[in-house]
Every structure is written in structure tokens, then in C-alpha cells.
Structure 1
């Protein structure tokens, strides 16, 4: 019996080169991605890191993405290095232009810092979504295409727009709580394979009978 694709392959399906398991192409030490999470981009899914911008090790912020996430093309994770000083008259970064202007280099304390950007497990992110620094997206959330995510999105909620806002819950609170306790993404690949019908069924009672 087969138990799914090889989690260590770059392309899980050799017939679909646009899909890439992100974990297997990451080179930066401050990006962490869980098993089976993929990026889909016909223009080079292996270049996922190009979509994580202004990410500098000396700032210390991390991009953390859970397991079994589906990320569509055009994603943009903007990290804390993009921030400008906001407590002064101007936000213009004179210091990076040099030629004497570096005398006004801000300290790290002067720059906004939102912390790590965290995407939970089993999150679906549509095309051309921009995620701002420090945002946390909960397990099972869905982010609509062309959204700009500026605030946290709770688990198992659908959100969209610019700025991104909650549209509705995917399930009632009892089922959401149950799924958050179940944490199916932490099951063995054998158990996941054996229970695919329940995981993929529109009959939500099935998942409670496992």
C-alpha cells in the first residue's frame, strides 16, 4: 500500500512541476516550514524564498509555516526589515543613501518590530496574497486571493480583502475546538492515508468517528 508522496521530494508529483514542497528548498536559517506544505507557481515554485522580502538575520524575526499548507502563486511575505522609522517627522530612510546621510541611521529600537510571522497548519492561501510582518494565521484558515493580511486571522476562519477581514467561520465553535484538539496534521502518514475519506468528506460527522 502506498502512503502518499515522499515528503523529502522537491516535486511530490513528477507530472506537476509547478508544485513544490517548500521545506525541501529552504536555505535561510530564519524560515521554518512543516512537512507537505507546498507552493504552486508555474514560474518557479522552487524560488519560494524570493517571495519572503526584507528578511534580515540581524533583526531576528522568523517566518514559521506549519504542515499541509497550500500556498498559491504570487504570495508575498513582507518581513520586519521593510519597516521605516515612524516616530520622526519623515519616514524617508536617508541613511541607506549614504554620502553623509548615514549620520541619521536609526537604532533598532526606533523601528517598528512586529515579531515573527506565523502560519498554522492546513492553511489555504489564495493567489497574490500579501502578508504583513508579525501576522499570525490560525490552523485551518482560508485567505482569499488578492488579500492584504495586516492582522491575525483565527483558526478555521475565512478572511479576505484589503485590508483582510473575517468573512465567516468555516465550522461551528464545537467542531473548531474538536479539530484543534485532533491535530490530524500530526498523525503518522499511515494514519492520515487510512483516514483520507473522513478528512476529505463533506460529511463532518465522519471525522468524529475516527
Structure 2
């Protein structure tokens, strides 16, 4: 028996309006233009900026995602911590109302929101990766599948492991700086269309839009 294990067939086109593949659960969040959110994703008090996408079963909590970010399935960004200094780590102590034990403790939710995850532009987050609260990921970084990221990641750095550590850089520092200096992620849709060929050839891109001088 054949089982489709990687989600539904990819769609052929998106639109400036966010594309949502039901069922998804989105609360108190903002989605940018040309964004794509696949089925069973959960987005809570987060931002997904232009052209970024979330594959199946991704969860965002208190997370700001930049433009052109690729998030593979089953990734978790900003998983909510439990207050382990209390007599119990169970959430009945702060979600008391659902157990008919009194009112909720809003200070816990405020504490969580004070430790957001920040994802730069053009970041690739691999399948099943976890990025812990308070972590900042720089532009152009790559998070390998299955990684658990506990510390900030520098721009254009590739990290992997548990806890994640640097395994290499995407580009030499000078090349990375030239690419980052263009801030191409802020170019208009029309400009991206006009310059699409350069995004398929690093040397062309550097020569045309990020000369070394």
C-alpha cells in the first residue's frame, strides 16, 4: 500500500495574498505577501514576512521570520518553555481555568513573549529543527535537519547537531558581506523578476549587483 508521507502535491503558483492549506491554526499573527503556509502548521503571536513559507506541521511561537525564509516540515521555532522553578512544571499552575482551578496566570505568557525567536532573511531551516526561545538567526544562515539551536547563529553560517554548532560557512566572509550588502530581499517584485537570471549564477549576481569595489 502506497502512503503519501511528504504532504500533498506542491502547488504551481502563489499570489500576493497568503496561501493557506487547511487545516492551519493562526492566532494573533501577521503574514506577508507571497507567503505559503502548509497544512497542520500552527502560528501563534508571530510574523511571517514576504515570500517565506512553512511546510507541513511547522510551529511558530513568538517568532519573527524575515523574507525569503524556507522552513521545512516538522520544524519548531520558539517552543514555549514551562516555569520549572515552581513546585510543578505542569501547565495547570498557569492554565488553571481549563482545569476549573481558578484564573490563569498571565505572567507566564508575558515571560514567554519576552523571549522571542528572530529569523533573518534568506534563512533555510531543515526538517525537524528546533530553535529555542531567545535565539537570533542571521541572514542567509542554514540550520541542518534535526538540529537543536540554543545560541545565536551568525549570517551565512551553516550549523548542525544537538546542540547545534558551526560546521562551515555558506560563502567566504567577503562574498557573504557583498551579498548581504545588497539587501536584495527588499527589492520589489518587479525587480526580482527582471534580475531572476542573476539569482541562478553567483558570479553574475556579484558582478552586477555587488561589485567588490
TM-score with structure 1 length normalisation? 0.69
After TM superposition, the structure 1 = structure 2 runs for residues 1-80 of structure 1, keeping only pairs within 5 Å, are 5-10=14-19, 21-22=36-37, 30-41=45-56, 48=58, 51-52=59-60, 55=61, 62-79=62-79
After TM superposition, the structure 1 = structure 2 runs for residues 39-188 of structure 1, keeping only pairs within 5 Å, are 39-41=54-56, 48=58, 51-52=59-60, 55=61, 62-79=62-79, 81-86=80-85, 92-93=89-90, 95-96=93-94, 115-188=115-188
**How far has the Cα of 1:209 moved from its partner?**
1.5
Checking the alignment, whether the CA contact within 8 Å between 2:41 and 2:54 is kept in structure 1 is no
Q: Which runs of 5+ in 1 are unaligned?
A: 13-19, 42-46, 56-61
Instruction: Give the stretch that moved more between structures: 134-143 or 113-122.
Output: 113-122
**How far has the Cα of 1:136 moved from its partner?**
0.6
TM-score with structure 2 length normalisation? 0.68
**Structure 2 residue aligned with 1:44:** none
Distance 1:26 1:40 in 2: 7
**How far has the Cα of 1:190 moved from its partner?**
1.2
**Structure 1 residue aligned with 2:206:** 207
**How far has the Cα of 1:189 moved from its partner?**
0.9
Structure number with greater CO (CA < 8 Å, separation at least 6) is 1
Checking the alignment, whether the CA contact within 8 Å between 2:67 and 2:121 is kept in structure 1 is yes
**How far has the Cα of 1:26 moved from its partner?**
9.4
More helix by share: 1
Q: Which runs of 5+ in 2 are unaligned?
A: 1-12, 22-34
CA 1:195–1:106: 2 relative to 1, 3 Å: closer
CA 1:96–1:115: 2 relative to 1, 3 Å: closer
**Structure 1 residue aligned with 2:27:** none
CA 1:114–1:176: 2 relative to 1, 3 Å: farther
CA 1:205–1:174: 2 relative to 1, 3 Å: farther
Q: Size of the alignment, in residue pairs?
A: 178
**How far has the Cα of 1:91 moved from its partner?**
5.8
